Amino acid sequence: MSTELQNDRLLKALLREPVDRTPVWMMRQAGRYLPEYRATRERAGSFVKLMRNPEMACEVTLQPLERFPLDAAILFSDILTIPDAMGLGLYFVQGEGPKFERTVRSAAEVDALPQPDVGTELSYVTDAVSTIRKALDGRVPLIGFSGSPWTLATYMVEGSSSKDFGTIKGMAWDAPEVLDRLLDKLAVCITDYLNAQIRAGAQAVQIFDTWGGVLSPAHYRRFSLGPMARIVEGLIREHEGRRVPVILFTKGGGQWLEAMAETGCDALGLDWTVNIGEARKRVGDKVALQGNLDPSALNASPARIREAVAEILADFGHGEGHVFNLGHGITPKIPPEHAGAMIDAVVRLSPQYHHGG
């Protein structure tokens, strides 16, 4: 496994170190918008079989890098691997997304949840990480990830995705100590899981808090940010002779950026509802910022996409600490050449904002 990186722009930018241009990667960059991904998934038989096969997970992780000059690979996996390993029976329904056979709604059910042994029950994930690292051979860094405790809990309590999160929000009001216990259990497991990914070769990690933005400010701090801060505290921060940056991403979390920056993370992911220049003023030089083109902009013409990229680069302005990304994952119907137009625009337009790496 090569520890020498030919392109370490991403790791430098996440630590606010000088780079020659703004690094770029995309959430869900290995996904359904690519015909080659769809072909591999077809061969695997299902999303779950693909995710659990380290060689195939490696294949789809590398596919976008063959097409685009991206500055990072991100592990191909799913945020719900941990609740699945806790025995809740993850399955996917076409057009409806992930579902669980069993839910967790009472103190007894929380207490009965096993703490999975990451090394055995989630070894297909760490095997994928080490397989991908070997295949990358130092080309670009590899990002590992997990869902946040709150986001995983929403699926575990609701049993699937939800429009109003009524059951888990009811638990937050009526049985907050039960929810705290569930989130504590998840935080311990996620810390182990991300550390296992780092040991297997992940060079940066991101915590995806997809549903933190549905909470009130007080509940966000208690049920989402608090558990994420405990994870950040427990992570391996130096490995293979360099810092392992940690990115926190709360979709809909623009009002809490200052509090998120206090967790000790290295970077904050921004969704598209926040102006990146204003976000930069608010957090100062505490953390790097990642984002934040609205994924729907990729439906526009390539010329308009280039203008939208230019606007975000100008809003962030000169200096270090910007990783270009979408404000959420790329959607399945985007033409790959539109993603290419965005990436090309970052490569061409961003050097003017840097003094060189």
Residue stretches of the annotated binding site for substrate: 28-32, 78, 155, 210, 328
Q: Does the active-site annotation cover 28?
A: yes
Active-site annotation holder among 32, 139, 181, 221: 32
Backbone angles phi, psi at 324, to 5 degrees: -80, 135
Numbered residues of the known binding site: 28-32, 78, 155, 210, 328
From CA 206, how far away is CA 26, in angstroms rounded?
Answer: 12
Q: Which of 33, 37, 155, 220 is catalytic?
A: 155
User: Which residue has 């059951």 as its token pair?
Assistant: 167
> How far is the CA of 265 from the CAs of 35, 231, 245, in angstroms?
35, 10, 7
Rounded Cα distance, 339 and 117, in Å = 38
Known active-site residue 78: yes
- The alpha carbon of residue 25 and the mean position of all alpha carbons in its chain are separated, in whole angstroms, by 11
Which member of 9, 21, 41, 222 is catalytic?
41
What residues are paired with 288 via a beta bridge? 267
Query: From the candidates 9, 16, 21, 78, which is the catalytic residue?
Result: 78
Q: Which DSSP category does 107 fall into?
A: H
Q: Would you call 52 a catalytic residue per the annotation?
A: no
How far apart are the C-alpha atoms of 174 and 153, rounded to whole Å? 16
CA–CA separation, 321 and 223 (whole Å):
28
Residue among 16, 21, 28, 133 flagged as catalytic: 28
Token digits of residue 175: 């049985």
Does 164 participate in catalysis according to the annotation? Answer: no
The H-assigned helical ranges of 18-53 are 35-44, 47-51
CB 131 within 8 A of CB 192: no
Told to judge if 8 belongs to the known catalytic residues of this protein, a careful annotator would answer: no
- Dihedral (Cα; 32, 191, 103, 109), 10-degree rounding: 170
φ, ψ dihedrals at 326, nearest 5°: -80, 165
**Closest CA relative to residue 135, chosen from 204, 31, 65, 236:** 65
What H or E segment, with its residue span, contains residue 209?
A: strand 204-209
**Backbone angles phi and psi of 166, in degrees to 5:** -60, -40
- Closest listed residue to residue 349, CA positions, set 293, 272, 294: 293
Residues serving a catalytic function are 28, 32, 41, 78, 155
